[in-house]
Chains A and B, each alone.
Chain A
Amino acid sequence: MPTPQILEDILRLLLQLLPAMALICLLLAGLALRLEGGSTFSIGGGFTKWMLWSVIMLTLPQLLLWSSFFGLPVPSSAGAIGTNWLAGIHNDVSVFVSSFIVARLTIVLAAYFVIRAVLDGAHGGHPLGSIVTAMFLLAIPGTANLISSMQTSSRFAAVDVLDGLWNYLGDQIMPAAAGLAVVAAIINFVTHRPAMRLIAAALGFLTVSALWRLVST
């Protein structure tokens, strides 16, 4: 018995909305990042949860290959949505997410976090957390493209993306974080606050891959 057209179209709708849902997950990850400190995150907290969900959203078609691997065929989801009103829903949701949430709302939220950074500094706190969160929010489209470029067409795409994100963190972000740690160490030295732990942190940021190798071998 063939699958009804409406069910196939609903499946196509859900799968084709996954990239838009991934953008929303990244937005929620940015908000969770600030709640967890901004310059760090909690293991098992909101940031890791929403980042994992964004990766799953972008790699779900490849994850479904596991069903075929286990001998459970998955209906083909390629092609356009045949039912007009379902195609309309797809178009409307995609436009809403890209033009309202990503193009406007995240920019405004990032601007609010810049104000929060100034207020943090005024209250004697550290502005870096809010600044990093603002940068993360502004980079949501770039992060989504980065995750998409890391995925492979195999059923291991999700872990390939997580692998790629770890390498991106170690290769690109950590050296810049080491520079920030050196700047903070100098300022702490002048203001008679503990500075050596920041120098040690900079060294750790620069050697994170070597530390991984030390642990894994």
Chain B
Amino acid sequence: MFENGIVNLTSWLGNVILPTLSGLFFAIALIRFVGGGQHQSWLYGGFLCLMASGILRALEGFAPQQAWMIRISTGRL
């Protein structure tokens, strides 16, 4: 199913790639901090990578689940 592919891609990015990138961003932030360069955005990026799931849950909080039950043919819940 197409749905399985998209969901697996999203899970892989969120659960595997983003935590790895988080470590990379923290390392870059540390190196730039020691070197006196701009490091804040890398630090924030590292935290955001770990917070991706939470950000999505927060966005879902603005979208009530009952809205998904609408049928477009009837427009009713």
Which residues of A164-180 have CB atoms within 8 Å of chain B's CB atoms? 166-168, 170-173, 175-180
Interface size class of B (residues with CB under 8 A): 35 or more
For B1, the closest partner residue in chain A by CB is A142
Q: How far is the CA of A138 from the CA of B3 in the complex (A)?
A: 11
Q: How far is the CA of A131 from the CA of B2 in the complex (A)?
A: 11
Q: How far is the CA of A190 from the CA of B2 in the complex (A)?
A: 30
Give the residues in chain A near B13, CB-CB below 8 Å.
179-180, 183
Instruction: Check: A146 CB closer than 8 A to any chain B CB.
Output: yes
**SS class of chain A's interface: helix, strand, loop or mixed?**
helix
In the bound complex, do residue A176 and residue B62 qualify as a contact, i.e. CB atoms below 8 Å apart? no
Give the residues in chain A near B18, CB-CB below 8 Å.
183, 186
User: Which residues of B pack against A, CB within 8 Å?
Assistant: 1-7, 9-10, 13-14, 17-18, 21, 25, 41-42, 44-45, 48-49, 52, 55-56, 59-60, 62-64, 67-68, 70-73, 75
Given contact pairs A176-B9, A183-B13, A209-B68, a sample of 19 additional A-B residue pairs in the complex whose CB atoms are under 8 Å apart: A132-B6, A135-B6, A138-B5, A142-B2, A163-B71, A166-B72, A167-B71, A180-B13, A183-B17, A186-B18, A189-B41, A189-B44, A190-B25, A190-B44, A203-B59, A206-B59, A206-B63, A209-B67, A209-B70
